[in-house]
Amino acid sequence: MVAGALPILWLSVGCNSVLGPSKLDNNWRSYDSVHFSLFVRPDSFAEANQARLAEVLDDQYTTTVARLGITYTGHISAFLYTSAADAALACNRCGMGYPDTEALRATCQAPLDGNLFYLLSHEANHIIQRNAMGRPGTYFMNDGLASAVISTRFHGVGNEFFWAWTASHASAIPALSVLIDDSKWGGTDDEYKASASFLAYLIDRAGPAPIRQLYQVESRSFAQRFNALYGRSLEDLERDWRAFCAARAQM
């Protein structure tokens, strides 16, 4: 399930959200921000940029809470490693969230760009969302929603990016009936982006309340519950979403 996603496109991260603690060594320096404690390797790239990383993460934290209308007051520990080998992760732009211990681990390498900010924000969102809304019912919701509320204050990987990507990859995007089915989920980069794009569209269109109701719904009940919450079928709103993205790309 670790996406092992290699950095093919500039937005391409591997992510896996798991439970439980993991072993840590003692070779860290820590910096506290409003909502995070950043743990960095001494004299690393992450340490040199800890102030900006903290700023980005604090902004993401408040953005996620506001956009989803949720309550979360936890303090998150972010362990920022120098490489995939150092982090025991699959790639140099990979991360993992540990909602139960309110911690994340990620590789943190140059450049200091939107891809890195996006990766750290996505992992932080796993922790915030799971603690505020419970256990996600589908991979679609778990990883889609972690990307659907990304703040674009410091970089461009947000709603407009996902909607433009949707328009330019329309034929490659699986049907939503496939994306919401956990037995068909492969954890690919396309699945992540398409899920984020659709959920961002739903929040933009109908606010966060129905999403909170859908968060824990499992694959087999998803389409029916969706219909009850939105008063429209998944297929109908899928058509609207694709048309919305296509029209936006023409603007």
Of the candidates 144, 176, 155, the residue with the CA atom closest to the CA atom of residue 242: 176
- Distance in Å, CB of 224 to Zn ion, minimum: 26
Beta-carbon contacts of 217 under 8 Å, excluding residues fewer than 6 positions away, are: 137, 138, 141, 225, 226
- Distance in Å, CB of 184 to Zn ion, minimum: 18
40 three-class SS? strand
Q: Quick one: 5 or 53, whose CB is closer to Zn ion?
A: 5
Measure the CA–CA gap between 211 and 72, rounded to whole angstroms. 17
Residue 128 tokens read as 């915030």
- Distance in Å, CB of 50 to Zn ion, minimum: 23
Task: Please return the burial class of 102, using the count of CB atoms within 10 Å of its CB with bins 0-12, 13-18 and 19+.
Answer: buried
- Distance in Å, CB of 146 to Zn ion, minimum: 5
Of the candidates 128, 81, 84, the residue with the CA atom closest to the CA atom of residue 105: 81
| Closest-approach residue to Zn ion (CB) | 15
- Distance in Å, CB of 243 to Zn ion, minimum: 28
H helix or E strand, kind and range, residue 185: none
- Distance in Å, CB of 147 to Zn ion, minimum: 8
Measure the CA–CA gap between 74 and 1, rounded to whole angstroms. 27
* CB contact at 8 A, 15 and 94: yes
Q: Quick one: 99 or 208, whose CB is closer to Zn ion?
A: 99
Q: Quick one: 158 or 244, whose CB is closer to Zn ion?
A: 158
Rounded to 5 degrees, what angle do the CA atoms 23, 2, 241 make? Answer: 135
Q: Quick one: 40 or 141, whose CB is closer to Zn ion?
A: 141
| CA 25 from centroid of its chain's CA atoms | 27
Q: Quick one: 90 or 237, whose CB is closer to Zn ion?
A: 90
Q: Quick one: 143 or 191, whose CB is closer to Zn ion?
A: 143
- Distance in Å, CB of 235 to Zn ion, minimum: 26
Applying CB under 5 A, the residues found at the interface with Zn ion are 15, 143, 146
Of the candidates 138, 134, 127, the residue with the CA atom closest to the CA atom of residue 199: 138
Q: Quick one: 45 or 192, whose CB is closer to Zn ion?
A: 192
